Amino acid sequence: MLELVDVSYRYPGYARLVLRDLNLRIDDGEIVGLVGANESGKSTLCLVASGLAPASVGGVLKGSVMVDGAPLAGRPTHELAALVGLVFQSPNTQRSGVTGTVFEEVALGPVNLGLPVAETLARTREALALLRIADLADRNPAELSGGQAQLVAIASILAMRPRHLVLDEPTAQLDPEGTRLVGEALRALAGTGTALLIAEHKTDLLDGLCQRVVALEAGAMVLDGPAAETLGSPKLEALGVEPPSAVRLRRAAAERGLTLPAGAAA
Amino acid sequence: MIRCRGLVHVYPNGTRAVDGVDLAIEAGERVAIVGQNGSGKSTLVRHWNGLLRPTAGEVEIDGRAAAGQRVAALARTVGIAFQDPDRQIFAGRVRTEVEFGPRNVGLRGAALTTAIDAALDATGLTDAAAANPYDLGFSRRKLLALASILAMGTPVVVLDEPTTGQDARGTKRVEAVVADLAAQGRTVVAISHDMRFVAENFARVVVMAAGHVILDGPPEEVFAEPSWPSLASTYLEAPLSARLGARLGLGSTPTDASLIDALGGATAGG
């Protein structure tokens, strides 16, 4: 369980609060989607929920981030990494820079967890297979396309099998198939009891993947409810969020006094 | 405007990224190129401003062979806004970044100022003109990369995944830029993974797989049911409106509006 209690945050050197009085609980096995316009605080929330802010980024955090009932504050960085996984928005931010091949890059997490060699190899192969990038195993991680780098970054985290995982726009650079594979991998991970928070613009991905979706506006949580409710909210577009295709279509039909046949837009 | 004949590109590591592409794009066309990551889309367009040279085949830009023309000359005709803005942005101020391209192609004085102002306005960056590009978030850096290309006033504008990381407002800005370029009679080519964006904003869709063009036509044709097996062969899927229209027997409805119109017609007709 990952929980934010009355969380407010500002970056070092700035007076403005980027997050304001947030309360959010993600239960084991639950997938929560996070939507909002650009610069509404989604990425900052990802940094705070994973403990990187303020621990590594600095700034001032009020309230607390709790993992399985214990506060994250004060834990050393290596412990944080084991407690809450984070997939960065830009795969280049995440790349270790110390490995020569994709296989080594994905194996680095399990190795650092101190897992036995056989377990490390098995997890690495499994993560590469899940995202269908086994053919990249021998490639240099610094010389991948944007989409490939994003899949490698996600595989690196999957191999660690984190109990809590925060992802910041994990599919931004992916083609539709890559996006679908990431969705499947995350669903499987949640099935093992991992609590997931996913910031995404692709509401079509969140629709069907998340149990719950929350929306941020200027650092405050303005919507929080079951996925269908938040993604179907008439407020979504005013928040700068594109509704899922099915919602758009239903709405466009309603404006013309038409109804889409039941189940047609499922 | 753009002609590729038997275009092949093999990278030094042996990857055959483009494997025999014949493609002609006329002046003023709005063309979207879709396909999986690694299908050769970005490699293809990089031949149009000379960033890449063919391993085999020919490229002709505005009636002249690209071979033998320098990048600087081709860049006056074809502007490419890259997928990763951070590989394009280098200046310390937003306005300076946008100024570089048009100044380089010879604009000065009032014409230069007008070009910069129009590009900043189109991308919603007027208020950020004095900012350092790296103080902007990713989505606005992406719009900045687009502004820098718009300001050059090239007859052909190529947008590589322009809606990546954009929220609803950013996507609307990109859509407005595409419409505006088309209204000016300029040629717009966009690479995109967003089939809805493609169907709603482009008159022609080119589908690539493994370095080949496998489908090429208007959205009504490329996203129609008979094309679905070809799309599926490269893990693509028509937009929801197209799938729904086919399921309801309403014909090819690649856009929300076309589906609603068809639905309205069907209902009115009984």
Q: Please list the pLDDT of chain B residue by residue as tens digits (270 residues).
A: 999 999 999 999 888 999 999 999 999 999 999 999 889 999 999 999 999 999 999 999 999 999 999 998 999 999 999 988 888 888 999 999 999 999 988 899 999 999 999 999 999 999 999 999 988 888 899 999 999 999 999 999 999 999 998 999 999 999 999 999 999 999 999 999 999 999 999 999 999 999 999 999 999 999 999 999 999 999 999 999 999 999 999 999 999 999 999 988 876 654
Predicted ipTM of the assembly: 0.85
- Residue B67 DSSP SS3: coil
In whole angstroms, give the CA distance from residue A107 to residue A120: 6
For residue B143 the two structure tokens come to 């719009």
In whole angstroms, give the CA distance from residue A173 to residue A146: 6
Contacts of A179 in chain B (CB under 8 A): 193
* Chain pair A-B, CB pairs under 8 angstroms: 98
For residue B209 the two structure tokens come to 């797989």
Q: What is the pTM of this model?
A: 0.91
**pLDDT band per the 50, 70, 90 thresholds, residue A261:** confident
Residue A89 near chain B (CB below 8 Å): yes
A243, A237 contact by CB (below 8 A): yes
In this complex, the residue of A89, A179, A240 whose CB is nearest that of residue B167 is: A240
Alpha-carbon distance B209 to nearest alpha carbon in chain A (angstroms) = 12
In whole angstroms, give the CA distance from residue A10 to residue A15: 7
Sheet with A164-168: strands ordered across: A84-87, A164-168, A195-199, A31-36, A212-217, A220-226
Query: Which residue of chain A is at minimal alpha-carbon distance from B165?
Result: A172
In whole angstroms, give the CA distance from residue B71 to residue B48: 9
More confident residue, A125 or A97: A125
Do B256 and A248 count as a contact with CB atoms less than 8 A apart? yes
